[in-house]
Structure 1
Amino acid sequence: MRVAIIGGTGYGAVELARILKMHPYAELTTVISHSQSGNSLAEVYPHMTGIIEQSMKTLDVKALSKTIDLVFFATPSNVSKEIVPEFLQYGVTCIDLSGDFRLKSPELYAEWYQAPAAASVYLDKAVYGLSEIYQENIKKAKLIANPGCYPTATLLGLIPIIQKEWIDPNSVIVDGKTGVSGAGRGLSLNVHFSEMNENVKAYKLGTHKHIPEMEQVLKQEANTDIQVTFTPHIVPMTRGIMTTIYADLTESVDQVTIQQLYHEFYQTQPFVRIRPEGILPTTKEVYGSNYCDIAIHLDKRTDKLTIVSVIDNLVKGAAGQAIQNMNIINGWEETAGLEHPPIYP
């Protein structure tokens, strides 16, 4: 299968390229980058020397559509919404790693992204690509809205118990930590070494674009309106997401029962690993992989549940999940090209 990447110079794009190089059924034939047109990916990322050497190109939708079957968008917000409709007209499957098609409400998108939304017909057509939860819809999709990194970790941690109605959905508090690669490759004082090293920063309190994304999915799963308290932090590491989720129990259930719920919920999902009681995951244990590791702790003294969920933000939180969705769409084994274990230490 012939695939292309649009937006070829970001961290998400180079992760897509790395994983696709090992994929048994898909071939990366084209990388599009207006800013680096004429240069090879290896000139921008020297670690790709001898691996991916073809020159990047400027975008010609009609010409590209004749040579590919599927396109990944690794673009900033407010870019893919202008280009995806053209590819869909030519029958090309689109997987968008930006936030342009995640929110179903144009008004909500305009409020949180400070820009006009994509046309409603495409927002309605887009399938939210949380691979473990929406597989049946993904199988039939021509347009995938790949989830954000924080929502991926948070939603995989919450959905089993939200569906079971064992917690108060409006008691949910999410404490998120991300490595600096989540901020992208662009220069920024916020991630300057002297500013970031030996430092932890909370940011975008109450204004992070992933808040409405999480609330939209949780509302769908709980069949009730939900408001989430979300505090993201940037920490001095390159990769990784950890979300520590707190919620109030509404049912009298014990730790063993909750553990069993999660084990049964994800027993057929190859990339979600539920930790035994008392064993907490770390970001290093999923580094470079498509795994999401989850641990549950019930505090009987307070009747509060704590869920710890970790992913690699560039793999399960972006490129890996996008390729997992490509596998689902094409009826391939879900693990194709994604079976490499985490890098440790």
Structure 2
Amino acid sequence: MKDVSVAILGASGYTGAELVRLLALHPSFKIKVMTGDRKAGQSMDSVFPHLGGLQLPDLVAIDHVDFTSVDAVFCCLPHGTTQEVIAALPASVKVVDLSADFRLFDVDTYAQWYGHEHRAPELQKQAVYGLTELARDAVAKARLVANPGCYPTSVQLPLIPLLQAGLIEAADIVIDAKSGVSGAGRAAKEANLYTEVTEGMHAYGVASHRHSPEIEQGLSQAAGAPVLVSFTPHLIPMSRGMQSTIYMKARNGAKAADLRARLAAVYKNEPFVRVLPEGVVPHTRHVRGSNHCLMSVFDDRVPGRIIITSVIDNLVKGASGQALQNMNLMFGLPETLALAQQPMFP
């Protein structure tokens, strides 16, 4: 296949930098444009020294980009800034959007949770929600893919197959999730200073986190009826990694072994999703730097209740890695290209 010219919008943030790291190993995707309005005119290795020596283009302001010169765009811009940018792109350009701007199918729900009207409602109708393992065929045919959020990825991969099979109750799902600080982005914020986050853990977005409707959207589709979840995210003092511990009620006497067997059957041929054996607990360090999702299933001490623990790297499977997995499919390439790295340890 001929080379694919790629633009990364918002390359000066964490997800943009992670895309550059992954694309450095890609045989077909070539980075031609990188934007970073606050860093415009700077070289990438001056912004991220670990990416030095890659012969990358300098960062430019988004207004200076000729998008007719690229085939694909990874959009890593902040939420609320992406819809108008993508709407103005040439129709020939394939797009994976890493923000939340196209993840919610219903534009009224988007307005309710994000505080402003959707600015590209017609384009929203074309967007495919790119939870890759469960939407592979639709992603392959898409021009615009809404890359899932990190928490929704870690939660939906285990829960959707179980709801589809009727093995768990759609009601009373409780999600206790924890993320490294990189999930809050690279912009300077007092709450993310070292002294504010180290040696502690805190919940945020309690009963109001914007990933809640995204999670409920996917679970409701799987269940065939509306699903509400109790979802509480927490910030923990590490740079990357995410763990979601999920509590649910089994149906019709199902046990952890039944749920594990269902998940193992669904994901048996997947390169990036692995269901662990009975009694094995996944840790975030087991997926660090990789596009993997590890999950395990346990019977609770409370009769009829099941516990699932799911871990991902929030910057890879939770963002840039899944975005590249989707873009590979959109160009008819093996989805594992540039993503086959094993996790880093220690």
* 1:216-255 matched pairs, under 5 angstroms: 216-255=217-256
Instruction: Give 1:189's aligned residue.
Output: 190
TM-score (norm 1): 0.97
Cα distance in 2 for partners of 1:52, 1:319 equals: 20
Instruction: Give 2:269's aligned residue.
Output: 268
Cα distance in 2 for partners of 1:45, 1:314 equals: 15
Instruction: Give 1:86's aligned residue.
Output: 88
Cα distance in 1 for partners of 2:270, 2:72 equals: 24
Tell me by how many angstroms 1:66 deviates: 2.1
Q: Which moved more, 1:38-47 or 1:273-282?
A: 38-47
Q: Identity of aligned pairs, percent?
A: 39
Contact 2:243–2:311 (CA under 8 A) maintained in structure 1: yes
Cα distance in 2 for partners of 1:224, 1:176 equals: 24
Tell me by how many angstroms 1:55 deviates: 1.0
Instruction: Give 1:12's aligned residue.
Output: 15
Return the letter of the residue paired with 2:213.
P
Report the secondary structure of 1:258's partner residue: helix
Cα distance in 2 for partners of 1:45, 1:337 equals: 20
Instruction: Give 1:49's aligned residue.
Output: 52
Contact 1:65–1:90 (CA under 8 A) maintained in structure 2: no
Instruction: Give 2:73's aligned residue.
Output: 71
**CA RMSD between the two structures:** 1.3
Cα distance in 1 for partners of 2:45, 2:274 equals: 34
Contact 1:30–1:56 (CA under 8 A) maintained in structure 2: yes
Cα distance in 2 for partners of 1:52, 1:314 equals: 23
Report the secondary structure of 1:233's partner residue: strand
Tell me by how many angstroms 1:53 deviates: 3.8
Q: Which moved more, 1:148-157 or 1:48-57?
A: 48-57
Cα distance in 1 for partners of 2:17, 2:299 equals: 39
* 1:1-345 matched pairs, under 5 angstroms: 1-60=4-63, 64-87=66-89, 89-299=90-300, 301-345=302-346
Which whole-Å deviations, capped at 9, do the CAs of 1:299-345 have from their partners, x for residues lacking one? 36421011100000000000000000011111211110000000001
Contact 1:41–1:52 (CA under 8 A) maintained in structure 2: no
Cα distance in 1 for partners of 2:255, 2:40 equals: 58
Report the secondary structure of 1:66's partner residue: helix
Cα distance in 2 for partners of 1:256, 1:190 equals: 42
Cα distance in 1 for partners of 2:306, 2:152 equals: 19
TM-score (norm 2): 0.96
Q: Which moved more, 1:317-326 or 1:328-337?
A: 328-337
Contact 2:255–2:306 (CA under 8 A) maintained in structure 1: no
Report the secondary structure of 2:59's partner residue: coil
Contact 1:72–1:97 (CA under 8 A) maintained in structure 2: yes
Cα distance in 2 for partners of 1:21, 1:296 equals: 36
Cα distance in 2 for partners of 1:93, 1:227 equals: 33
Which whole-Å deviations, capped at 9, do the CAs of 1:244-298 have from their partners, x for residues lacking one? 0000112222333222111111012110011000001000000000000000012
Q: How many residues are aligned here?
A: 343
Cα distance in 2 for partners of 1:150, 1:23 equals: 26
Contact 2:84–2:120 (CA under 8 A) maintained in structure 1: no
Q: Which moved more, 1:51-60 or 1:153-162?
A: 51-60
Contact 2:161–2:222 (CA under 8 A) maintained in structure 1: no
Structure 1 stretches of 4+ moved >3 Å: none
Report the secondary structure of 1:211's partner residue: helix
Cα distance in 2 for partners of 1:239, 1:204 equals: 19
Query: Where does the alignment leave 5 or more consecutive residues of structure 1 unmatched?
Result: none
Return the letter of the residue paired with 1:10.
G
Mark the CA change 1:40 to 1:284 in structure 2 (over 3 Å): closer, same or farther.
Answer: same
